[in-house]
Amino acid sequence: MPLILGAASAAAAGGYDIDNSCRFNGDAYLHKTLGTPTNRNKWTTSVWFKKCDVDASANRRQLFQGHGGSTDYTGLVMDDSGGRVDFGNRQGSHVGRIVTNRQFQDPMGWYHVVTMWDSTESVAGDRMKLYVNGVEITSFATDTNPALNEDCAMASGDVFYVGGHGGTSYQWDGYMAELVFCDGQAYAASDFGEFSSDSSSIWIPKDPSGLTFGANGFWLDFEDSANLGNDANGGTDLTEVGLAAGDQAVDTPTNNFCTWNPLWTGRNPQSTYGASLDEGNVNWSRNDDTGVGATFALTKGKWYFESKATVYNNYTSYYWGLWNTNLENGGSNSPGYNYFTQTDGGSGIQQGNNYLLTPALSNISSKVDGTNTADYSTNKCDVGDIIGMAIDLDAGDLEFYNTNTSIATAMSLTTTAAQDRMYIVTANLAGSAGDMECNFGGCPGFTDSATNTDENGYGKFVYAPPSGFLAMCSKNLGSDGG
């Protein structure tokens, strides 16, 4: 199976760029009432997506659906038994359905899925086709072929939903980019993507503008934040429900951004401790001592990240910093809430500990590999202040900003062994309640206006990153660091 388009493919993604995606947080969808179709025997969809919810016990997550009533539907879902792709159609008592054996659970990169329905094919096994990252899937847990010339459930007056079953059930939790629906056409994955000239294992997108869309077809490129349902092909726009301009993301298949990693948290199971990742896996909340790590590992370069604490109580302490993933002297292999106390554990700042935080976060101090290095208690941070973190792994410095003013430094890496470490950005909580709104630049979790980019033109930040510091995204990894 080709690689999911992510950090490794940054240099290879230079042909057709996808500039924007849309963030769905499990509570939003788009819809459009269909007119007379070009051909109900043939249609193709193409969609790029990045998963956020990877809980195998969660409800099914619907990417799209043509809905004609309680028994008539066609659509694509990620199922609740570990991330299998489920492509099906029901028209009355007639059913066509394929469900993959393979599971697709990676929350760190982008997948591309093409579904093709062509019931005019004489060979039953050719009437439904499913491609993932350019490769046709042929191994299925369920494999029920439609009858010859069977109509799909997308008749005139039916509704096409994006992001949910009938809109409000099984709603999508993740990002979606470049959703294309071609009515009356049976296309293959190669019409929407190609293998990179740099690597035969990397699948990258192609410009879909030259395809035939048909009477009901559309192309969602999500490039207009004021109209995320805009049909870039010029047809009738889809209606938005629960989406806002802030849900337009620059985290895309051709520039993959760092987020929090739902597969790597400081204490498990997440549900026991009230963990919650939302807003595209950039915001994080807990009700007990623990931490969460990012999806990108860093070994060199200069990087920038923003966050703010928004919920606290009598015993809440927040930690921001970098966790050393290859501890030289042992220790936990997960970024727990007290990772700064571990020898060689990492570097960061700690806010407070058993202080009543009204009206300000207090007692700022810094730690390096388990040792207190400085006291910044005169630098107060109000709840809701945006804390910027500038990471310089080349010089061995880590500097923090409060609303764009420097408040603390927390790292001095001078040895060769320290320089060879691999770090991840980490947020930690000690206490019984806490929320962090965060921003890696791909799609901020803030309501604050985020209009600044790094010097390469990437990311969406509230404050401009310091000179030379970059957003953690695949294009920057490929050209400026690692």
pLDDT(317) > 50? yes
pLDDT(358) > 50? no
Task: For residue 237, give every residue at least 6 positions away whose Cβ sits within 8 Å of its Cβ, in sequence order, or none.
Answer: 32, 227, 229, 230, 231
What is the per-residue pLDDT for 95?
81
Give residue 79's pLDDT band: very low, low, confident or very high (50, 70, 90): low
8 Å CB contact between 481 and 298: yes
What is the per-residue pLDDT for 369?
52
pLDDT(364) > 70? no
CA distance 176 to 170: 15
* Positive or negative torsion for Cα 75, 81, 83, 84: negative
Give residue 146's pLDDT band: very low, low, confident or very high (50, 70, 90): very high
Give residue 231's pLDDT band: very low, low, confident or very high (50, 70, 90): very high
pLDDT (tens digit per residue) in 82-107: 688 999 887 767 788 999 999 888 89
In this prediction the pTM is 0.90
DSSP string across 115-139: EEEETT-SSGGGSEEEEETTEE---
8 Å CB contact between 450 and 444: yes
What is the per-residue pLDDT for 13?
45
CA distance 253 to 271: 30
What is the per-residue pLDDT for 337?
57
418 or 53: which leads in pLDDT? 53
Helix, strand, coil percentages in the chain from 3-state DSSP, rounded to 5: 5, 40, 50
pLDDT (tens digit per residue) in 42-67: 999 999 999 988 766 666 788 988 88
Provide, rounded to the nearest whole percent, the portion of the chain with pLDDT above 70.
74
Task: Tell me what the pLDDT averaged over the chain comes to.
Answer: 82
Write the DSSP symbol of residue 341: G
pLDDT(366) > 70? no
8 Å CB contact between 208 and 200: no
What is the per-residue pLDDT for 75?
80
What is the per-residue pLDDT for 45?
96
pLDDT(249) > 50? yes
pLDDT(368) > 80? no
37 or 344: which leads in pLDDT? 37
Give residue 201's pLDDT band: very low, low, confident or very high (50, 70, 90): confident
What is the per-residue pLDDT for 88?
87
Secondary element (H or E) of residue 474: helix 474-480
Task: For residue 62, give every residue at least 6 positions away whose Cβ sits within 8 Å of its Cβ, in sequence order, or none.
Answer: 75, 76, 77, 161, 163, 164, 165, 169, 170, 171, 172
Average pLDDT over residues 147-174: 89
Query: How many whole angstroms from its chain centre is CA 311?
Result: 24
What is the per-residue pLDDT for 3?
36
Average pLDDT over residues 432-445: 88
Average pLDDT over residues 69-87: 75
pLDDT (tens digit per residue) in 378-408: 666 777 889 899 998 888 888 889 899 988 7
12 or 94: which leads in pLDDT? 94
